[in-house]
């Protein structure tokens, strides 16, 4: 039997990189899958790639009202939700002196406020048991220059996984964090850095990885399958680091 057979799973930010690969692996493991994204063309490309059974929903992860609408849409299509992978994220990195309030607010809206209110909106739909996976980052554990706001938002998710797991335990909802290390995804081009700064940062990041390379979306997606499946039913309120040893070695 497939590991996610008969489960309904939502992946936010599922049109590329880790999110798209996770949706692919969820489908391969028997789940009925929905993905979100802001770009309608990217959503349709994902549907063509993963199959017509994929439910695609246009949604901005940083807008609270759109999280409520997302939950309303799912209720219309599905009887329940077994897995939520809150993968959508803002990866902006800047020097402290270059931050402004609007950019800070946008990052926190996507990385922290959005997932919080999405879980709230989905409460009536979450099954018993259900698995909620928050997308963290190894950046929450290290002092990588220019990652201050990003790392702070991911550190907040570590706390959220613990507190919400305790609060939702009676409802059978497990909340865990899947924290990627440096991973080869299109998100690397969205850091808001000049080309030479990005190249220098990538070289610096590779030097941080004890295993000697960056991770792949496939490796993160396989970890997400574990957290989504009943194999992880004794894993509650914790963090799974998939980072090549960055945070621990």
Catalytically annotated residues: 150
C-alpha to C-alpha distance for 89 and 95, rounded to whole angstroms: 19
CA-to-CA separations, 145 to 28, 95, 137, 186, in angstroms, rounded: 38, 7, 14, 20
Return the closest-CA partner of residue 198 out of 91, 115, 66, 113: 91
What SS3 state is found at 92? coil
DSSP assignment string, 29-55:
TT-EEEEEES-HHHHHHHHHHH-TT-E
């Amino acid at each position: 039997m497939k590991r996610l057979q008969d489960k309904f799973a939502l992946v936010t930010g599922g049109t590329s990189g880790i999110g798209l690969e996770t949706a692919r692996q969820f489908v391969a493991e028997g789940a009925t899958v929905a993905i979100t994204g802001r770009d309608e063309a990217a959503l349709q490309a994902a549907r063509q790639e993963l199959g017509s059974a994929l439910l695609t929903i246009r949604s901005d992860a940083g807008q609270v009202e759109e999280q409520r609408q997302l939950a309303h849409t799912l209720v219309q299509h599905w009887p329940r939700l077994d897995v939520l992978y809150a993968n959508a994220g803002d990866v902006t990195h800047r020097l402290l002196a270059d931050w402004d309030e609007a950019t800070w607010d946008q990052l926190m809206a996507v990385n922290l406020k959005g997932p919080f209110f999405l879980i709230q909106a989905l409460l009536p739909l979450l099954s018993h048991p259900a698995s909620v996976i928050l997308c963290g980052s190894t950046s929450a554990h290290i002092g990588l220059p220019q990652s201050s706001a990003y790392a702070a938002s991911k550190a907040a998710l570590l706390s959220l996984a613990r507190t919400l797991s305790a609060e939702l335990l009676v409802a059978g909802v497990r909340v865990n964090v899947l924290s990627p290390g440096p991973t080869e995804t299109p998100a690397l081009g969205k850091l808001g850095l000049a080309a030479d700064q990005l190249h220098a940062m990538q070289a610096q990041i590779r030097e941080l990885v004890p295993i000697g390379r960056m991770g792949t979306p496939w490796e993160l997606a396989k970890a997400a399958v574990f957290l989504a499946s009943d194999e992880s039913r004794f894993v509650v309120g914790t963090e799974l680091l998939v980072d090549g040893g960055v945070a621990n070695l």
